[in-house]
Amino acid sequence: MDASVKPFGSKPNRAWRKSRLAARLLLRRDAGQWSRRDQIIARQLHGDPEVTNRLIQQALYYLGVGPRKHALDRKLVGGGN
């Protein structure tokens, strides 16, 4: 088997899983469903060097935000929260 091909059923890497979680937290915050637990997890992910803005952007597209992404960016960044 070629070393560059992952076997079927392999788990995604940790950075990607963490970034997807961060993206889901951003969506929850945007929807007004932001809990204390979400805030604690978001703080932990914010300090994690594996979680990058680029991976979070990719995760947002993966979760289907696509066309709304720019409006979400403006709201989250422009709002200063």
Q: How many helices (H) and strands (E) does the chain have?
A: 4, 0
Residue-wise pLDDT for 16-56, tens only, equals 999 999 999 998 998 899 999 999 999 999 999 999 988 98
| 59 and 19 Cβ atoms separated by less than 8 Å | yes
Measured over the CA atoms of residue 5, residue 11, residue 19 and residue 23, the dihedral's sign is: positive
Residue 75 C-alpha from the chain's centroid:
16
* Residue 68 pLDDT greater than 90, yes or no: no
Q: How would residue 71 be classed by pLDDT, with cut points 50, 70 and 90?
A: confident
Q: What is the pTM of this model?
A: 0.72
Predicted confidence at residue 23, as pLDDT, reads 92
Q: How would residue 58 be classed by pLDDT, with cut points 50, 70 and 90?
A: confident
